A and B are shown apart, each in its own frame.
Chain A
Amino acid sequence: MAEALLSVRGIHTYYGDSYVLQGLSLEQRAGTIVAILGRNGMGKTTLIRSVAGLTPPREGEIHFKGASLRGRPPYAIAQSGIALVPQGRRIFRSLSVRENLLLPTSGLARPGKGRWNLRAVLDEFPQLEERIAHMGGSLSGGEQQMLAVGRALMSNPDLILMDEPSEGLAPKLVKHVGEIMKSMRDHGHAVLLVEQNFALAMSVADYIYVVSAGRFVFEGTPQQLEREPEILDQHLGVARAH
């Protein structure tokens, strides 16, 4: 098996005084979508923040492309090829769509090389081109999500961290977000997705982890998860759909 792109080994992360991640391990290969499913407050966002270096783990190791991320500040982790699409989009409301997209391409941010540039991102998201001169804050929720993803792509990352991309979006747009993630995978980017939306995660993920109270209680393919009624019921609160 090829070396994992991202390898999280037994991390323990505290958020302030609370002990959030209690020994999580996961592996992700390049060009795959891995989803972390779990209810609110189970540590999903903290996991994303641990990988991005925003809340570094107190114990355990995170390796990316074979190198340890221990002690590396967020900007260095971003420069190594990890892009973050934060919860609630967090685009720059006071900057234009164009400026939002160009920020990661500055030499100061040391972007990666690859197929994505302003032209390619606008071709992928034609709606953004119509709004190119508008302020980020004037965009709709769906457009903001596209902008956040487009901004992440501009640095040509190997791994995109997506924190609850379905949050606050209409069902039709959630489906669109799923399509976007599959398209990212087709372009060779790995996506680490953190979600509460069961259907979305099941429809896009190659591999799924279920987190509960800071520990993984399941890992496997979506098909395997389908066959675990107890996990679904206890940890995700999903009534069997079909």
Chain B
Amino acid sequence: MDRGRLALSLIALAAALALPFVAGPFWTGLATQMYIFGLLALSVDLLLGHAGLFSLTHASFFAVSAYTVAILQVRYAVPTTLAAPAGILAGTLLAAVFGISVRTRGVYFILITIALGYVVWGVAHRWSSFTGGDNGVTNVPFPAIGGVGITSHTQYYYLVLAVILLCALGYRVLIRSPFGLGLRGIKASETRMQSLGYRTSAHLYAAFVLSGALASLAGVLYVYYNRFVNPVASSFPISVEAALMAIVGGSGTIIGPFLGAGVVLGLRNWVSSFFEMHHAIMGAVFIATVLWAPDGLVGIAARLRARFSRPKEPGP
């Protein structure tokens, strides 16, 4: 990492640490959501940005994990130390089943993931004796480990920040590993990778399950923040938004999905305060991204950087 990027990272980290003191609870809450949905977008982007698979079912893992935690904590008084891992496990197991979708490619993969997502939404919505139907499961407590518990949204903000920093580091190791390189090879050409000895279907399946596990972790963070979960968490728009967050921020990068989550959530909260048709604004932002900035915010930053640094150091 060069010095500029290191400095930028440290400034961003300092800003993230100082945020609850500088800004009020509204912005702290918005930032917490940005981290959580950024993590969901990052999980989607493991497939989209690295393997070239456009999944529209990630809300399923997110929601199944959130429901598992909520039901265990609220109805059975299971402690966080068991409920949170159980949530991740449940979401990941579902991903292991939904992973059969990697037998298809391109538009068929997109369609089958949409269909699978609707199955989960349907169950959450209609099986009301278990899921609470439209009301969902409410009164989820803050997480607690042993006698030590989170008592405020500010404390929870720091917990989420710590978790996503660890995830980002782990993700970085993963995409730089031979496994990550293999994914990028498959994105470029699956046939060529097979000729090099890669069992690409197994590789993609593993990526799908890992990605589902990450989405499940985001679901756990979400339910403890939101304090309730209802079928909206499993709905198609959540899956779409997660993918769009990754694209707006910069697909194939780590910071991109988080920036994208910030843009989407920020726009929604800010624009909706004075303009009713905020969804139209969001649509316009997505269209503009696809047309003029296909590499998202990260791509724009890279272009600006290249423009300003060119006079000083001619490229290699």
Asked whether any CB of chain B lies closer than 8 Å to the CB of A50, the reply is: no
Asked whether any CB of chain A lies closer than 8 Å to the CB of B195, the reply is: yes
Residues of B within 8 A of A52 (CB): 195
The segment from B37-45, B160-168, B184-192, B266-274 found at the interface with A is B184-192
Report A26-54 residues with CB < 8 Å from chain B CB: 52, 54
Give the residue among B185, B188, B197, B199 with the most A Cβ atoms within 10 A. Answer: B197
Given known pairs A92-B188, A93-B188, A95-B188, the reply for A106 and B181 (CB within 8 Å) is yes
With beta carbons under 8 angstroms apart, the residue of B178, B184, B194 that contacts A78 is: B194
Asked whether any CB of chain B lies closer than 8 Å to the CB of A155, the reply is: yes
Using an 8 Å CB-CB cutoff, how does the interface string of A155-179 with B read, 1 for contact, 0 for none?
1000000000000000000000000
Nearest A residue to B200, CB-CB:
A75
Count residues on chain B whose CB falls below 8 Å from chain A CBs: 19
* Contact status A54-B196, CB under 8 Å: no
Interface size range of chain A in the complex? 20 to 34
Given known pairs A106-B178, A106-B182, the reply for A92 and B197 (CB within 8 Å) is no
Asked whether any CB of chain B lies closer than 8 Å to the CB of A2, the reply is: no
Given known pairs A92-B189, A94-B188, A95-B188, the reply for A78 and B195 (CB within 8 Å) is yes
Report A126-144 residues with CB < 8 Å from chain B CB: none
Asked whether any CB of chain B lies closer than 8 Å to the CB of A199, the reply is: no
* Contact status B196-A109, CB under 8 Å: yes
* Contact status B192-A95, CB under 8 Å: no
With beta carbons under 8 angstroms apart, the residue of B178, B188, B199 that contacts A75 is: B199
Report A72-95 residues with CB < 8 Å from chain B CB: 73-76, 78-79, 83-84, 86, 90, 92-95
* Contact status B178-A102, CB under 8 Å: yes
Asked whether any CB of chain B lies closer than 8 Å to the CB of A118, the reply is: no
* Contact status A86-B194, CB under 8 Å: no
- Smallest CB separation, B212 vs chain A (Å): 20
Residues of B within 8 A of A95 (CB): 181, 184-185, 188
Asked whether any CB of chain B lies closer than 8 Å to the CB of A103, the reply is: yes
Nearest A residue to B191, CB-CB:
A54
Asked whether any CB of chain B lies closer than 8 Å to the CB of A151, the reply is: yes
Using an 8 Å CB-CB cutoff, how does the interface string of B195-209 with A read, 1 for contact, 0 for none?
111111001000000
A-B contact pairs, 22 of them (CB 8 A): A52-B195, A54-B191, A73-B199, A74-B194, A74-B195, A75-B194, A75-B199, A78-B194, A78-B197, A79-B197, A86-B195, A90-B192, A92-B184, A92-B185, A92-B192, A95-B184, A95-B185, A106-B198, A108-B179, A108-B203, A109-B198, A151-B196
Query: Which positions in B face A, CB cutoff 8 Å?
Result: 178-179, 181-182, 184-185, 188-189, 191-200, 203
